[in-house]
Amino acid sequence: MYSIWLKEFDYDYVIARTVEDGLYAYQNSLKQNSANLNGFDLIVLDYDLPPKKDSSLSTKNGLYVAREVLRLNRDQRIIFASAWPQKIFNEYMESLKCFIEILQKPFEKDLFIKMIQDTFVFDTLKKVVIDMRKNNVNPNEPTPESYVNLFELLWKLQKDTFDTPDN
């Protein structure tokens, strides 16, 4: 389904049907684009991405792929498309140290494309996480001050968005 929507909007894409294929595609993309650390602009993963049969990764899933991708590039944009958003969020908070976006299945094409095109939330939270790292704060253990900073940044970005000369 995603491939039809992506093709309709002229996006280039790679489909990986297993954990191993996903890891291979990302690592291969990084090798081919060694000058650019982001091999992909975006990765869309399903939490239930299966491993190959009889694989050494038989207990792994999409969260494992995200963890490995973020180990290689902690600023990679990832959207989880899943019927289990709370499960992903809970496991993510326990294991990953980066921001990911979650899109709950089922969803319509318009929402999927809008989320791909609208990087406002990702860009905003990426800035917050970078700032937290600079201040040696774990992004998964925010302080009250970091929440204040987050809301100030969101307010500023929202204000900048609506105060542009085109509006």
Same domain, 111 and 45: yes
Answer yes or no: do 112 and 31 share one domain.
yes
Q: Same domain, yes or no, for 25 and 94? A: yes
Assigned token pair, 91: 């496991």
pLDDT tens for 120-166 read 777 877 777 777 777 776 665 666 666 666 667 766 665 565 455 55
Same domain, 49 and 17: yes
Residues 80 and 150 in one domain: no
Q: Which pLDDT score, from 0 to 100, does residue 167 have?
A: 47
pLDDT at 75: 80
SS3 39: coil
Q: Are residues 134 and 114 in the same domain?
A: no
74 & 137 share domain: no
| pLDDT for position 139 | 61
d(CA 77, CA 17): 19
Residue 18: the pLDDT is 95
Q: What phi and psi values does residue 74 have, to the nearest 5 degrees?
A: -70, -5
Residues 107 and 150 in one domain: no
- Is residue 134 domain-shared with residue 102, that is, in the same domain? no
How much is the pLDDT for 36?
Answer: 62
Same domain for 17 and 42, yes or no, is: yes
The CATH number given to whatever domain includes residue 114 is 3.40.50.2300
Closest-CA residue to 53 (of 82, 20, 14): 20
Instruction: Clarify whether residues 144 and 83 are in a common domain.
Output: no
Q: Which domain holds residue 106?
A: 2-118
162 lies in the same domain as 99: no
Beta-carbon neighbour count of residue 97 at 10 Å?
A: 15
Task: Give the span between the Cα atoms of 71 and 69, in whole angstroms.
Answer: 5
How many domains are contained in the chain? 2
Residues of the chain short of pLDDT 50, as ranges, are 162, 167
pLDDT of residue 128: 73
